[in-house]
Amino acid sequence: MNHAKSVSRVVVVATTVITIGLGVACTRQTPTSPAPPSPPAEAPTANAYILPGAVDLGATAFGDEPVVIQKGERLRWRNADTVEHNVVADTPLPEFVTTGALAPGGERLFTANTTGSTRIHCAIHPQMQGTLVVRER
C-alpha cells in the first residue's frame, strides 16, 4: 500500500505541475508585432500664382522672378486671374508637363523629383512667360 500511496502522490504532483505549467503558458501574452511606421510627413508645398491681369503682364505673368522650388517639394499652381489659363513647360520636366485648363480660382499640384529648369508659358495666352527651376535641397 505504501507503493500505491507513493504512486498516487507522484500522479497528483505531476498533474498539479502540468496544470500550473499550462496555466502559466496560456496566460502569457503573445508578443505583438511592432507598430507600423508612421507615414512620412507631407512634402512642403510651394505656391505659384497666375497673377490677376496676367494676360497683360507678359514676362511677369508668373511674378518678377523665376518660380523656384526644391526637389521633392510640391508645387501648387493657383489661378488668381479672372480668365482660364493652361501653364505648359517648354522643356517638360518628367513630373510637370502642363497644368491643364485652370479656371479662375482653380489649382493643380505636382511634386518635383527631378532637378532642372524650363521656360513656361500659358498655352492659351502665349505672351505669358516665365521660368520654373527645381533645385537640389
Q: pTM of the full predicted structure?
A: 0.67
Query: Which residues, listed in sequence order, are joined to residue 111 by a DSSP beta bridge?
Result: 74
Confidence (pLDDT) at 16: 47
Query: What CA–CA distances, in Å, run from 89 to 4, 74, 75, 116, 122?
Result: 97, 16, 14, 12, 9
Q: Domain coordinates of the chain in residue numbers?
A: 45-135
Q: What is the pLDDT of residues 23-51, one digit of tens each?
A: 555 555 555 556 655 555 678 999 999 99
Amino acid (1-letter code) at residue 114: T
Which of 115, 45, 54 is closest to 76 using CA atoms?
45
Contact yes or no for 75/44 (Cβ under 8 A): no
Average of per-residue pLDDT across 112-133: 94
Q: Specify the CATH class of 45-135 in words.
A: mainly beta
On the CB side of 17, CA atoms within 13 Å amount to: 6
What span, in angstroms and rounded, lies between the C-alpha atoms of 54 and 92? Answer: 22
Location of C-alpha cell 486671374: 81
